[in-house]
Structure 1
Amino acid sequence: MVTDKHYAALDQVLELAVLINDDMTRSLAQDGLTVSRTHLLWELRRRGPVTQRDLADALKVSARTVTGLVDGLEATGFVSRQPHPTDRRATLVTFTERGVRTVEEMERGQQEFARLLFGEMTQERLDCFSGALDEILTRLRAASQTYDPRGGDQ
């Protein structure tokens, strides 16, 4: 049974999502980035120099979409394309110095944001909050795997 408290909690989650999205969009725009381009930078940071095909797979987008993202990031000086050392047909996407500096600044920003959100929270409350989020994310991930955008469930 869904109660008023359930709806109030959902309202809080939705407000949190909007606030975080607005903050992130504003912050990224200062560096000339979008959420999609930043997602690519995070994957590149995690994987190291990588092919566009591998980036497309990691981002779950088409090769054409990744080409557009890499083109934009290359034009603004965040990444470069380099020849693959063992496959003449492939190129590797790598960070430029600007890209490395930007991702390192974003990591510092995340640390500051985490401190702002959770720094004064007791360990017990943080554990409880984190556990509740794990439950919610598990449900959402399971639901998204069975959702068919064409109508109905799979």
Structure 2
Amino acid sequence: MTRQTPIEVGQLYFELFHRIRRLVDHEMSEAGLSLSRTKVLGVLAEQGPVKQAAVATCLGFAPRSVTDTLDALEREGLATRSPDPRDRRAWLVEITPAGAVALERAVAVKKKAMTTIFGGLNRAEREQLATLLAGISARLDSHLEAAHDK
């Protein structure tokens, strides 16, 4: 086995991540919802009626960045907006019954795709991969916190 540099391993991970994301997004889009729309509907399902800015915060985006997705979900009857009774400048966004059905279908498609992708790994391999990814994530969090404190 050849020794891989951190850059080479990072590149392999990056390429694999993008391939997985494209595959899962394609499968989900074929079923009616993209990955990003599913994420937004998931937040709406969990949070109940919520301000658009809160949806963006939950996803780690700027508020303006979810506007197009929310507009599309509203056009398709999967989400609704209504005035916030406590803040006349704000709108509350909520999942509709049709949105809940679409979300359920999309989540099932996502689970099937993930099972196809990672189902070939045995339990020990999945646990090892999960441990490695959690460790990378923790180191990244520490790095970001240190950079933020500067």
TM-score, normalising length: structure 2: 0.74
What's 1:143 paired with?
Answer: 143
Pairwise CA distance, 1:8: 4.7
Which residue in 2 is equivalent to 1:58? Answer: 58
- Greater RCO (Cα-Cα under 8 Å, separation 6 or more): 2
- The worse-fitting range, judged by mean Cα deviation, of 125-134 and 50-59 is 50-59
What is the match of residue 41 of structure 1? Answer: 41
Query: 2:95 maps to what in 1?
Result: 95
Name the aligned partner's letter for residue 41 of structure 1.
L
Root mean square deviation, CA, Å: 3.0
Residue of structure 1 equivalent to 2:131: 131
Partner of 1:21: 21
Number of aligned residue pairs: give it.
147
Note the 1:102-113 alignment, pairs <5 A: 102-113=102-113
Distance 1:128 1:97 in 2: 39
For structure 2, list consecutive stretches of 5 or more residues without a partner in the other structure. none
SS of residue paired to 1:77 = coil
User: Is 1:77 aligned to residue 77 of structure 2?
Assistant: yes
Looking at structure 2, the residues matched to 4 and 63 of structure 1 have their Cα atoms a distance apart, in angstroms, of: 40
Runs of at least 5 residues in structure 1 that lack an aligned partner in the other structure: none
Amino acid in the other structure paired with 2:91: T
Contact 2:82 2:91 in 1 (8 A): yes
In 1: Cα distance, 2:51 partner to 2:7 partner = 44
- Cα 1:147–1:105, aligned 2, differ >3 Å: closer, same or farther? farther
- Quick one: percent identity of the two aligned structures? 27
TM-score between the two structures when normalised by the length of structure 1: 0.73
